[in-house]
Structure 1
Amino acid sequence: MDTVSNHDLLREYRTYLLVEKGLRPLSCEAYASDMRTFAEFLDGRHGVLIHANQQDVSMFLEHLRVHGIDSRSAARKLSCLRGFYKWLLLDARIHHDPTVNIESPKAWKVLPKSLAESEVTAMLDAADIHARHPENQAAALRDRAILEVLYAGGLRVSEITALLVGDLALEMGRLQVRGKGDKERLTPLGKAAVQSLEDYLKNARPQLDAKARSHSRKGPAWLFLSLRGLPMTRQSIWRLVKAANRSASPHTLRHSCATHMVEHGADLRSVQTLLGHADISTTQIYTHLALNRLKEVHRMHHPRGKTRSALLTTARERAIEEPIPPQKAARDGLFLVARGENGK
């Protein structure tokens, strides 16, 4: 059996992900980081990656739980381990996959944060207010377009920074997105996002692009440019989202897009396609978000679903409008309320 060191093995795996799987450097580094966490855990147990067994994997997951790692992060790390040992198995470096029959943590229980529709509207309106000042107009129009696209298409931050002008087909209301593993998908845009992009392309991007040309910068025609004419970075996208809503992030808008679509009746397959999820089980988390909202609506509005305080409030309102017969009030446990509100 292979006795290669953890360091050399992870270097080989990173190269495999980069060259053969076509993942981006940042994604490769994220996978390598998760594997290094497992390797460090094995070091404490006097083990190495290539000799790990099922007990090692189970103990690692328990170690994560004890140290406060949420189930969603633990599930991601386990998924990384599965990919790593599948690679070793296919390469005939090991004979048994230690992740087989290991149950994944219930990641769906940790629901992603999403904004209310009114909160998204407030974020977009804030960009409009800034656009009224001439000195802020170019940046404000750009920021509004970015926020609209993040919300309309549910894009990842890495996807929006990779957009080129040529990826747009505004007359058809869509854009071409390069997702994880350089997989491309066509993403529809709503009327609001198309209008914001048209405003940005006409009234802001030429001004920003002129700054790039003035510095003799040549390269791809990136869609979203900074005030210096450079392509927007992940960090700059994060900052502009935070400026619009301190509790939000680019991924919050992605979650909000999916959640609001499911709440308005979209089927999971459509949402999966929009978000670029390889596995629909990843998309199923949004049914839980929508169910939570449905339960809250049911609790507040169904006559048999209300809390006791809500029932008492409703009873007071009805008692004001019409007297309640004492026999019925006593039967319903609302006698005192009826008497108090009717002054009897």
Structure 2
Amino acid sequence: MKPQAEPAVESFLAMLAAQRGAAANTLAAYRRDLAAAGEQIGCLERASRADIEGLGAAWVELAPSSVARKASALRQFYGFLVDEGVREDDPSSALPRPRIRRPLPRLLGHEEVAALFRTAEADAAAGTPEGLRILALLELLYGSGLRATELVSLPIAAVPRDAPFLTITGKGSVQRMVPISARAAHALADWLVARGKGGRFVFPSPRGGHLSRVRLFQLLRDLALRAGLDPEKVSPHVLRHAFATHLLEGGADLRVLQTLLGHADIATTQIYTHVDAARLVTLVNQRHPLARS
């Protein structure tokens, strides 16, 4: 049996679940990090600034990303205690702040995406269920920017009959409306006819339930190989990155992109701004009032 966390930690986790809609995996990660800190310094609720400083020394062998994750959990925990009036001070300022360079996403160029679509459209033209399915999958990954899990678990009920939107349940069970292009809607309609009736998922598995993420990866890499691309470069997440990057290149607003991708924090979306620095410089030079003076 797992040892019970201290009451303050349990209250914090309950707040994350109720107010922020944190998923079970997220709550489990917070619980592990807070429990590990408690094992090192004792009761977290009563920890002093000196206790918190000691954690930095205990974490010295960890990767910067691990230190950042653990420190973030504690900062949020102590912020919660201060907000609730449990503590008057916040000792988390003594935690280390490692500098992390966020890796840039792997990118697919327009020609590489076009090669994938040419191959998928040729498959669909044969009229086989497999061909119609791969085209529908590709259209929704690149055309709507869905996450792999969102795509494979898409229920039939999320596909409207007369509106150009999908209702997506993303991370933390947060719902959002995602536009679906006319060509994606056409590919999806063709697939639904070939799919037949029965089951609650748009992309069912022969063994019941829905298509697995692993199988989705396999289908995309097979498509990439047949399209003459390096299969290691193609994945659901890479196509989601391509969706975001190419929209930004086309002039999409970053806040709009944040909504489409289902990012809770605009900082997550800002990683895409690196890909279109030249366009942003041109925009400033052309549109800023001082550029015309």
What TM-score bracket applies, with the shorter chain setting the length? 0.7 to 0.9
Matches of 2:76 and 2:94, distance apart in 1? 14
Matches of 2:212 and 2:8, distance apart in 1? 31
Q: Percent identity?
A: 34
Q: Who is 1:115 aligned against?
A: 108
Q: What is the RMSD computed on CA atoms of the aligned residues?
A: 3.8
Matches of 1:100 and 1:161, distance apart in 2? 42
| Equivalent of 2:209 in 209, 218, 230 | 230
Matches of 1:294 and 1:188, distance apart in 2? 25
Matches of 2:274 and 2:205, distance apart in 1? 38
Q: Who is 1:27 aligned against?
A: 26
Q: Does 1:196 align with 2:187?
A: yes
Matches of 1:241 and 1:143, distance apart in 2? 8
Q: Who is 2:244 aligned against?
A: 258
Kindly indicate whether structure 1 or structure 2 has the higher relative contact order, using CA contacts under 8 Å at least 6 residues apart.
2
| Deviation for aligned residue 1:197 | 0.9
Secondary structure of 2:168 counterpart: strand
Q: Who is 1:141 aligned against?
A: 132
**2:255·2:266 contact (CA, 8 Å) conserved in 1?**
yes
Matches of 1:61 and 1:149, distance apart in 2? 44
Matches of 2:272 and 2:219, distance apart in 1? 26
Secondary structure of 2:185 counterpart: helix
Matches of 1:191 and 1:19, distance apart in 2? 37
Point out where structure 1 has 5 or more consecutive residues left out of the alignment.
213-220, 296-344
Q: Who is 1:87 aligned against?
A: 80
**2:21·2:172 contact (CA, 8 Å) conserved in 1?**
yes
| Deviation for aligned residue 1:200 | 1.0
232-241 or 172-181, which deviates more: 232-241
Q: Who is 1:50 aligned against?
A: 45
| Equivalent of 2:257 in 243, 255, 271 | 271
Give the number of the structure whose alpha-carbon radius of gyration is greater: 1
Q: What amino acid sits opposite 2:182 in the alignment? A: K
Secondary structure of 2:111 counterpart: helix
- Structure 1 residues 182 and 50, CA, compared in 2 at 3 Å: closer, same or farther? same
Point out where structure 2 has 5 or more consecutive residues left out of the alignment.
224-230, 282-293
Alignment of 1:321-336 (within 5 A): none
The number of equivalent residue pairs is 272
Q: Does 1:40 align with 2:36?
A: yes
Relative to the length of structure 2, the TM-score reads 0.72
- Structure 1 residues 10 and 274, CA, compared in 2 at 3 Å: closer, same or farther? same
**1:163·1:222 contact (CA, 8 Å) conserved in 2?**
yes
Matches of 1:58 and 1:196, distance apart in 2? 57
